[in-house]
Amino acid sequence: MNTPDPSTGADASVPPLYSNSRSGIPVPASVPPGAVDHERIGAPGQYPFTRGIFADGYQGRLWTIRQYSGFGTAEESNERYKFLLAQGQTGLSVALDLPTQCGYDPTHPMARPEIGKVGVSLSNLSEAEILFKDLDLAKISTSFTINGTAAIVYAMYLAVADKQGVARSALTGTIQNDILKEYVARGTWIFPVRPSMRLIADSILYSNDATPRFNPISIAGAHVRDAGASAAEEMAYTLANGLAYVDELRRRGGDVEKFARRLSFFFYVHMDFFDEIAKFRAGRRLWARFMKERYGAKDPKAQHFRFGVVCGGSSLVAPQPYNNVVRVAVETMAAVFGGAQSIFTCALDEAFQIPTEFSAELALRTQQIIAHESGIARSVDPLGGSYVLEQHTDRMEEMILKVMAEIDAYGGVVKAIEDGWIQLRLAERALQRKLDTDSGRNVIVGLNHFRKAGEQMGVGDVFKLDPTVAQRALEKFQRVLDTRSQAAVDLSLSRLTQAAKRDDENLMPYLVDCCHAYTTVGEMVDCLKTEWGEFKEPVNL
């Protein structure tokens, strides 16, 4: 760790600018005009949508500003949502606690230390009623970061809409509902891969009819990326997972013209500016091609690659934490140049703690400044046609296809995940990234270069979680158990069991009935575990 010269800030140990991007794409000092093939790029709003899915870009509709929040109890989260909506946020994003994500009721021994820690506890319908109290579900769009229990949480959202008298068809929002990446990077899997794929197909097919404006899946590369994958690998794994869902939906009789228009995607944006922009442009072009050429989708909407992003994550570091605001601003610009439909900006302290109200607001302001002051959103794909960017996009596309071919050669994503092959590959890549950071080869200002002696880590101001959260959640949970009709619960669960035994039955109506009966998330999950068993994690390091 070299200390920079205090007068100039120079640090003699900084490596030269490598001619490869962080994804390993060669980037020359200049690119000649001949590198751009205008035919291949097309126009904004036209196949293959390299330049964006809408001809009018953000002039037609600005991206959704969506900050991730939710912690403690439903009452506290409900208050926070009202605050954020009053601040100009245009969509809600619900974080759920780990017991809800993994399918344990608050009373389970594994749940107790985790209640309300990383999100809100949503153990049964009464909590959802509190969470959305006085919020008009017909007017707000709600995004749930939920996977293992996504179908159940979606059922709960439908049930709470029923209770509020809001037509299901009016609901907008997203459930993440992407189980494949959970096995690889995020870890909230419950059931084995194949029954999990069934549950996902059930929820998507049901949603296409019942909630046609709702996104029943957000196929996410973000977590794999944040764990260590490169931008190219992030896109390759995500597209491969997306195609696996499409295959499953078709196997279940789904119509690609109908379900494909409701598929959406979710990525991280890290610091290599052109890698990020090229990743989105290449991914958008590849997905359109897969949908049209491989699956015969004719409606452009079924070829559209719609995606949300999160800026920050593991690109943020604890030393010199205010630098993180600058990083998030650069990443947000890359997301805008990449054509994102929704953006979440991480708070400067998000890398090491739950954001404070100050840091959360600053993150929101960062994207409002880019949206409304900078003017970069006026023209759609304003960097389109740049020699550097177009060549980078072409090379990114080649690299994505190469990784996808390797997965295919192994036997496809499902097998690669069941065997732990992708998990091991990711661990090795993450180790390499960490070693490159440790050695200073990957420059991170304030962490491995340009550091000052005696610097303090962190921002001093720490968000404190109320220690009574778990106790209050348990008391409320007990009250629900005491007041609900046990006969209704038992009936809803026995019907769910029967339906789960029939492979061609869509489980969604049964899960909604369970929710209406105040059957708990843990009870529904246990019922399905009895039928399907649990995922056996391959631990092959």
Partner 1 sequence: MTHMHARGPLAGRRILVGKPGLDGHDIGAKIVALTLRDAGAEVIYTGLRRSPAQIAQVAIDEGVDAVGLSILSGSHMELVTAVLTELRQRNALEVKVFVGGTIPAQDHAPLRTMGVAAVFTADMPLEEVVRELAVQFA
Residues that bind partner 1 (CB under 8 A): 98-99, 101-102, 104, 109-114, 117-118, 182, 185-189, 227-228, 314, 317-319, 351-354, 426-428, 430-431, 434-435, 438, 447, 457-458, 462, 465, 537, 539, 541
Order of strands across the sheet with 217-220? 64-65, 342-345, 306-311, 263-269, 217-220
Q: Which CB atom, from 76 or from 182, has the smaller least distance to partner 1?
A: 182
Task: Say if residue 109 is preceded by a cis peptide, omega within 30 of 0.
Answer: no
Considering the complex, what minimum distance in angstroms separates the CB of residue 363 from partner 1? 18
Q: Name residue 495's amino acid.
A: R
Q: Are 125 and 159 in contact (CB under 8 A)?
A: yes
Encoding tokens for residue 66? 């969506």
Would you say 284 or 425 has its CB closer to partner 1? 425
Select 148 or 308, whichever has its Cβ closest to partner 1: 148
Q: Provide, rounded to whole angstroms, the least separation between the CB of residue 92 and partner 1.
A: 22
* Three-class DSSP labels, 188-236: CCCCCHHHHHHHHHHHHHHHHHHCCCEECEEEECHHHHHHCCCHHHHHH
- Our CB check for partner 1 shows the closer of 44 and 99 to be 99
Edge-to-edge strand list for the sheet holding 214-215: 68-69, 92-94, 141-144, 172-175, 214-215
Q: Which residues contact 16 (CB under 8 A, 6 or more apart)?
A: none
Q: How far is the CB of 535 from partner 1 (least distance, A)?
A: 10
Nearer to partner 1, 204 or 426 (CB): 426
Whole-angstrom distance, CA of residue 159 vs CA of residue 480: 16
User: Closest distance between partner 1 and the C-beta of residue 349, in Å?
Assistant: 10
The nearest distance, CB 445 to partner 1, in angstroms, is: 13
Min dist CB 448 to partner 1, Å, is 9
Task: Report the residue number, 401 or 445, with the smaller CB distance to partner 1.
Answer: 445
Q: Name the residue nearer to partner 1 (CB basis): 52 or 312.
A: 312
Of the pair 27, 430, the CB lying nearest partner 1 is at 430
Minimum distance of partner 1 from residue 465's CB (angstroms): 7
Nearer to partner 1, 167 or 431 (CB): 431
Q: Please, what is the minimum distance in Å from the beta carbon of residue 63 to partner 1?
A: 27
β partners of residue 64: 342
CB of 248 to partner 1, least distance (A): 23
C-alpha span between 96 and 149 (Å, rounded): 11
Q: How far apart are CA 123 and CA 152, in angstroms?
A: 10
Give CA separation, 31 vs 16, 227, 448, in Å. 20, 32, 31
β-strand partners of 72: 120
Neighbours of 356 (CB within 10 A): 18
Task: Decide: 428 and 436 in contact? Cβ < 8 Å.
Answer: no
Q: In sequence order, what are the beta bridge partners of 142?
A: 92, 173
